[in-house]
Amino acid sequence: MKKQIVLLPGDGIGPEILASSTSVLEAIASKFNHQFIFEHQLIGGSAIDKVNDPLPEQTILAAKRADAILLGAVGGPKWDNNPSHLRPERGLLGIRKALDLYANLRPVKGFKQLLHASPLKEAIINGSDLLIVRELTGGLYFGRPSERQNNGERVVDTLVYSRSEIERIVKKGFESAQLRRKKLTSVDKANVLESSKLWREVVEEQKANYPDVEVDHCLVDAAAMKLITQPNQFDVIVTENMFGDILSDEASVLTGSLGMLPSASLAENGVGLYEPAHGSAPDIAGKGIANPIAMILSSAMMLRYSFGLDKEANTIEAAVESCLDQGLHTADLHVSGGKRVSTKEMTEAIIKNISSINS
Ligand code: IPM
Ligand code: MG
């Protein structure tokens, strides 16, 4: 199989972890006889520095032509005081919108080898395996107006959702649940927000189309608590943009580190952008100690969702799991024993495991 992949390294640790994942993909290509053609494009702070635009037109055009997109991370203190149109995050939000990547899938699976690396009790997180389906192109992130008024004395952000925007993500939630343990939890704030009331209505309407899925509603504050007290209660969570952002960072605690959490952002036409759920970690950028696993698992999601290469995706996941079995861990994982390794060492170990897996 021959595929064109656009690489958006971005800022901070983005370039380091993206390089890890392209070398892992090269190993997959040679093992399974595929050809992956990589094309680098600019996004975020590094794009601001080079061309004074967090999302150059050329990046959007290349992404639209590509078979899939891999993104490192954007942002950093260097651009914190920039005006809002020159913030790195604008690049990320802009590409999500430009490609209509409305469905963000964030699988959260507690690896047994890392149970003790979580600050939560092992008995609570043992067996947790859930998927957050986050709406990604609507809500507070994109509502207008969003501005300072009265010389900065008053600010306004706007939360807008249309019925069709809610419908497509809710359907994605149901479909995802059908492929898993058939349990869907819709998270909202329907006791307060108008948008959540419509959200709940849509879920109630749609459930007739998915009789095999058990569905319940949970208010976001209660969901935040349950996620770390009874994570095993969840299979698929479907929720709006901002709630999904917050809950997915919280859920990463189940896996021991945010550095373990991959994600896929998908459009209705099949285009996919894959990125770790973590940020650019500017404090450790350039030190060679970042955890590449979330990025590498994101590229496994790309193989599965965009190219239908299940065997190849499974191979990457198994290779990562073997590294954990071997006791390898990067500095973000507070595990006892084993061996602390650098980004490069972890990447090499994963590649070595890929070559020794029989598939
Ligand atoms: C994420 C990130 C982004 C978001 C930031 C960097 C804009 O936190 O992908 O979860 O809020 O969506
Ligand atoms: Mg986030």
Give the angle subtended at the CA of 237 by the CAs of 232 and 240, to the nearest 5°: 150
- What percent of the chain shows pLDDT beyond 70? 100
CA distance 25 to 31: 10
Yes or no: say if 261 and 278 are a contact pair by the CB < 8 Å rule. yes
In this prediction, residues 166-183 reach a mean pLDDT of 98
The radius of gyration of the chain from alpha carbons, rounded to an integer in Å, stands at: 20
pLDDT at 359 exceeding the cut of 80? no
> Which tokens hold the place of 261?
């959490």
CB 12 near ligand 1, within 6 Å: no
Q: Give the type of residue at 253.
A: V
DSSP string, 34-73: -EEEEEE---HHHHHHHHS-SS-HHHHHHHHHSSEEEEEE
C-alpha of residue 323 to centroid of ligand 1, in Å: 28
Give tens-digit pLDDT for 183-214: 999 999 999 999 999 999 999 999 999 999 99
CA distance 48 to 60: 15
In this prediction, residues 149-154 reach a mean pLDDT of 94
Query: Could you identify the atom of ligand 1 that is nearest to the CA of residue 104?
Result: 9
Tokens 């590649």 belong to residue = 351
pTM for the full model?
A: 0.96
CA distance 349 to 341: 10
Give tens-digit pLDDT for 47-103: 999 999 999 999 999 999 999 999 999 999 999 999 999 999 999 999 999 999 999
Query: Could you identify the atom of ligand 1 that is nearest to the CA of residue 74?
Result: 6
C-alpha of residue 136 to centroid of ligand 1, in Å: 10
Backbone φ, ψ for residue 19 (5° rounding): -60, -40
